[in-house]
Amino acid sequence: MMTHHFDPTILREYDVRGVFGQTLGAEDARAIGRSFAARVIRGGGRCVAVGLDGRVSSPILEHALVEGLAAGGVDVVRIGLGPTPMLYFAAATLDGVDGAVMITGSHNPANHNGFKFVLHGRPFFGAQIAELGALAQAGAWTSGSGTVSSADVMDAYVAALLRALDGLDPAALARLALAWDAGNGAAGPVLERLVARLPGRHVLLHTAVDGTFPNHHPDPTVEANLADVRRAVAQQHLDFAVAFDGDADRLGAVDGLGRVVWGDQLLMIFAQDLLARQPGATVIADIKASSALFDRVAQLGGKPMMWKTGHSLMKARMLETGSPLAGEMSGHVFFADDWYGFDDGIYAALRLIAATIRLHTSLTDLRSAMPAMVNTPELRFPVDEARKFAAIEEVRARLEAEGVDLVAIDGVRVTTPDGWWLLRASNTQDVLVARAESTSEAGLARLLAQIDAQLAASGLSRKG
């Protein structure tokens, strides 16, 4: 009986992820294919779409994955190189497709790679990913001879994206001037086709797909990676600029003054635009988002909902609640009003254009109107895997015993007169994550002191 044992570090909460040639290789990809095929077939499915990003190792992993899927008895439709949301689009629109697997290392270092999954239109994560490992270890695979075909969905995807601009004032669109930074990631070819069909003035940066990422790392949540779009905005007098991570399921943006518009601030703008058309809608944001966002959604007549961090968890919550809009600090934005409910940085960029036009306000003015909050970035510090969740549980128990005002859906988020602070265990790394936000520097210092006191009570420190 054939079996396979994965390196235990690669089966993560939201995806499979490892270092190519060290913890992840072609045999792992083949086994992932066999295990996922078994899950698809036992769930009554038959066909899986497969896509890949531009990393150097992606073609090797894609070839092995497709072999494993076909040997497991499912038919495979290969859609080729492109962003993760293009694969999600294929899974949602191609006839007969039951599941999808994307080979991508997302925003991780160039030598990392991995797999993201969809099954029957729903996110595939947590216990389901652990089950792939169990199936491989037991050799509980299906067998067959699945067919392998190819489908070019890029033009259909671009045409669908453009529907985000339907009904907008053509003159307003023609006045816009934007920069788009693909970061040498998988978004490049889509952006080239998309921008060719857009009115206005557009500057494309780093659209050549290059898995060594020669210009900057493709992670728009790190401010240093936005230097090129900031320079383009300043030198070419642009309205704003957008940037994408390696597989383009996340959006970064800077306004006309070069200021970063962070994930929760983007969601404030999207919520304002959406709630004008869908009064009372539920808007979901992750537990790391600013209190200004939740306050703004309520002020606009929406129903703000705080939820756990993680793109798979967010998509699942949207399905449960019927929410048309959700987002995370990390730049994942999910639209289910005129889109498919998955995270798509390119579609979000077009919705940002649409929002500025429908609201008759520039992104710069929208950003300037937001309340001035003093906050930390995500503070990440290493804690042993075996300790990280237990430490959070200790903090929660102490705070609850003191009668503190807290939310404990994902770590602990504590509200005080100074603002709020958060302490949670990462689902993807051996770290604790802290964040705090106040209206003053003195208030922020008091919040950080509370975090430090709780960590010290559990024998830990932010300084490692």
Strand, coil or helix: what is 286? strand
Is 106 labeled as catalytic in the residue annotation?
yes
Helix-strand-coil split of the chain, %, nearest 5: 40, 20, 40
Would you tell me the crossing angle of helices 154-162 and 188-196 to the nearest 10 degrees? Answer: 50
Q: Give residues with Cβ within 8 angstroms of 230, minimum separation 6.
A: 241, 254, 258
CA 162 – CA 195 distance, rounded (Å) = 10
CA 84 to CA 187: how far, in whole Å? 9
- For CA atoms 278, 279, 280, 286, the dihedral sign is positive
> Which SS3 state, helix, strand or coil, does residue 416 take?
strand
Length of the chain: 464
Q: How far apart are CA 361 and CA 380, in angstroms?
A: 36
Output the CA angle 342-92-250, nearest 5 degrees: 25
Select which of 35, 57, 58, 106 is catalytic: 106
Distance of CA 422 to the CA centre of its chain: 20
Structure tokens at 435: 């964040």
Non-local (6+) Cβ contacts of 359 within 8 A are: 269, 272, 273, 276, 366
Between the two ends of the chain, the Cα-to-Cα distance in Å is 46
Please give the positions annotated as active site: 106
